[in-house]
Amino acid sequence: MSDTRELQPLNDGFQKIELWNDWSDIFLSTPEERIERLEVLLCQKVYRGEDISQCLTVLEYIQNRVTEQKLEPIVLKQVQFKLTLISWHKVSQTLLALLIVITCFGSLLMLLTSPPSSLPQITKPHSPIQIPKKN
């Protein structure tokens, strides 16, 4: 399969690209090649005075698709970074809560298992104060 583009001089001094006889997938493998072919077809239709609305629609679609394909990895990296950050935040909160629980239960266990004589007295026993009565 060969590319049958030919340049032929016209009466007004411009050169014209003949239509391709072969529109196989081998020449349309990349979006850039598709855009190039559509641009050539668009120029030919304009030169002949034909309707170019469909060519413009397809050309715009392909160009937008190429832009989306270039932006897709960037957006994916941003989303992946945010998800990683959220995951690490949740893990760190969980670990902090776990450390607090372990510390509280450890202190409670020490209080419950230690003999009462080793515990500090919270209140001292005191004798009640006698208020003298007036007669």
For 8-59, how does the pLDDT look when each residue is reduced to its tens digit (9 = 90+)?
444 444 445 555 555 555 556 676 777 787 788 888 888 888 888 887 888 7
Predicted model pTM:
0.42
d(C-alpha 70, C-alpha 86), whole Å = 26
Query: pLDDT: is 6 or 115 the higher one?
Result: 115
The residue whose two tokens read 């309707």 is 51
pLDDT of residue 98: 97
pLDDT of residue 77: 94
| Amino acid (one-letter) located at 76 | L
The residue whose two tokens read 């104060």 is 129
Q: At what angle do helices 31-48 and 53-113 cross, to 10 degrees?
A: 150
Across the chain, what does the average pLDDT equal?
76
pLDDT of residue 58: 81
CB-based contact 62:31 (threshold 8 Å): yes
For 72-127, how does the pLDDT look when each residue is reduced to its tens digit (9 = 90+)?
999 999 999 999 999 999 999 999 999 999 999 998 898 888 776 766 666 666 66
Please state, as a whole number, how many other Cβ atoms lie within 10 Å of the Cβ of residue 38: 20
